[in-house]
Amino acid sequence: MTASASKPLNFRKSEGAYAEYHRSGSKKAYKIAKALAATGYGVITGGGGGIMEAANRGAFEARGDSIGINVILPNEQQLNSYCTKSQTLNSLSERKNALIKDSFAFIIFPGGFGTLDEAFEVITLAQARLRDHKVIFVQRDFWTPLFNFLDNLANLGLVNKNSYYAADNIDEIMDILLLRQRIRKMVLIVGTGILLDCFNEVIV
């Protein structure tokens, strides 16, 4: 594994209105992942470029676990060079399951259908109480239309607004995660402590 600490962040070329969300999201992902890794969390991403690479680089430079779960698709991403551990799977469903199974929190940055697919999967699992994890959307202004839609669903009694959070900086995220970590540690001590390492993973 080799990666240059002096290499500038490699932002994917994005056009139009999304470009600024992508640039600012990549910078935030780097800072958030670096801070999380410095406090002992592992960071898992889809292993690609852009925001995923920024997050892996942040964890890598903090000398933390920087995990990439890649997928084989036509004309799709290659694994970035900041993953200390990696796995390449054959389908999106396999990758999504791999991302979910060892993670106790999910940090959702601006994205398209793939991001929404993963976000709704983990929110559904949380609402159904099939998994006890945190789902945190970063960059509130990007997600405001989605939150408005979810508010309408909540008013109709169709969704639970307590299944997800919004945050814009590392302090807000750590406030959410540290509360869950204390609860998790207590449960693990009482129950299956063998799973302690698994619950120190955070998806970005």
Q: What is the pLDDT along the chain (204 residues), one digit of tens a residue?
A: 445 444 555 544 445 677 777 788 888 889 988 988 888 888 888 888 888 888 999 999 999 889 888 888 776 668 889 999 988 888 888 888 888 877 788 889 888 888 888 888 888 888 887 777 788 899 899 999 999 999 999 999 998 888 889 988 888 888 887 755 555 433 222 332 222 333 345 555
106 domain residue, yes or no:
yes
57 domain residue, yes or no:
yes
* pLDDT recorded at residue 192: 26
27 domain residue, yes or no:
yes
Pairing type for strands 165-167 and 201-203 reads: unpaired
24 neighbors 50 (Cβ within 8 angstroms): no
Structurally, the chain folds into a number of domains equal to 1
199 domain residue, yes or no:
no
List the strands of the sheet with 201-203, edge to edge. 85-89, 66-71, 42-45, 201-203, 105-108, 134-138, 165-167
C-alpha dist (Å) from residue 117 to 4, 10, 42, 57, 76: 33, 25, 22, 24, 17
1 domain residue, yes or no:
no
* pLDDT recorded at residue 15: 58
39 domain residue, yes or no:
yes
198 domain residue, yes or no:
no
Which alpha helices (H) appear in the chain, and where do they start and end? 18-38, 51-61, 92-101, 113-127, 140-155, 170-190
* pLDDT recorded at residue 156: 92
* pLDDT recorded at residue 100: 80
* pLDDT recorded at residue 179: 56
* pLDDT recorded at residue 199: 35
* pLDDT recorded at residue 143: 92
Domain of 154: which CATH number?
Answer: 3.40.50.450
* pLDDT recorded at residue 57: 93
Residue ranges making up the domain that contains 165 = 19-190
102 domain residue, yes or no:
yes
